[in-house]
Amino acid sequence: MNYFQICARCATRIDVGPRPQQWCPVCRGVLLSPVPVGQVPTGVRRNFRWVASSPVRARRTRVVRAPSPTPRYDTMPTWGLPVVGRATVEPTESAGDRLAGRVTSMVSVAFFLFVAAALAEFARYAVLLVSRDSLIPAAVLALSDAAVWCLSFLSVGVGLVAAVASVAWLVRARRSAYADRGEVDPRRPRTLFAGSLIPLVNLVAPGVFLTELARVSSQRWSLERVLPWWWTAWIVNWLMLAATLAFRVADGIQARANGVLATALTDLVAAGLAALTLVLIRRSDGRTVRGDDRTLTRWTIAPDPVELTR
């Protein structure tokens, strides 16, 4: 009897004759159970079954070893982690604090420039006096004009920067003084800047701000001695500036000559104000006028010479 078989993989019908086979000659798949030729297969009859088995594992043989000696170093180890301290994040310094840190140098430069500008104005006034009787060489006039204009612009520019730096120092000094008392400065920085830089208002406000600083500062005695002189120089400086502007806008040769003299005196007053400002800053920081650390003088009672001879 002849048989046929169906491939389980490709479903191809294979005539195998009287002897059944196992593998499909087409796809090498598994052939199903043989069916007689002429008979219709009623269902799928598999002549195999899937069996899942775990792979064979080689047994691990436990090897007992003899105890080894305790590990130790023959010499002191020289390796290790680097000794690095913990990185501390330093607070960033604001622009106002950086400007306040340079206030002494700016005020010092402004002082020398105002003195130089005053000397240039006095030299111009001397040239005006001499020109009444004799002619002045053109080179002398050009040199005088150049010195006056250059020193005037430099002194005014540096003076304005020094004024802003002084207000920044005032903000920092008040913040530090109130912080030492466990308090917060009741005035905002914008209030201090506006009161110190706006004309007319700054005739009174800076003195008030400095008086409040002196009351809470540890250097109160030193500040209260300098503060009245500074406030007086501050007001006189503004009055001299107003008088100089009045002479400048007036017509006439004598008015212009008076304007030159008034400008020279104004520069001298501004130089004195810069010097007092520098003294005030140094006193607030507990330093001398030269910037050295202040040392307290200790007075002791000397013994009576008569008692020493006994």
Do 119 and 250 share a domain, yes or no?
Answer: yes
pLDDT tens across 60-110, in order? Answer: 677 778 888 888 888 877 777 777 767 666 667 778 788 888 888 999 999
Do 3 and 121 share a domain, yes or no?
Answer: no
Domain count, the chain: 2
Q: Is residue 193 part of a domain?
A: yes
Q: Is residue 217 part of a domain?
A: yes
pLDDT tens across 142-182, in order? Answer: 888 899 899 999 999 999 999 999 999 999 988 888 888 88
Do 115 and 19 share a domain, yes or no?
Answer: no
Do 175 and 34 share a domain, yes or no?
Answer: no
Whether residue 118 is predicted with pLDDT greater than 70 in this model: the reply is: yes
Q: Is residue 90 part of a domain?
A: no
Do 157 and 27 share a domain, yes or no?
Answer: no
Token pair in block for residue 131:
């020109």
User: Is 284:217 a contact under the CB 8 Å cutoff?
Assistant: yes
Q: Is residue 73 part of a domain?
A: no
- DSSP per residue over 105-139, as a string? HHHHHHHHHHHHHHHHHHHHHHHHHHTTTSPPPHH
- Give residue 2's domain range: 1-40
Q: Is residue 54 part of a domain?
A: no
Whether residue 307 is predicted with pLDDT greater than 60 in this model: the reply is: no
What average pLDDT does the segment 117-134 reach? Answer: 85
Q: Is residue 88 part of a domain?
A: no
Q: Is residue 207 part of a domain?
A: yes
User: Is 233:272 a contact under the CB 8 Å cutoff?
Assistant: yes
Q: Is residue 75 part of a domain?
A: no
Tracing tokens 């706006």 back to the chain, one arrives at 198
Do 264 and 158 share a domain, yes or no?
Answer: yes
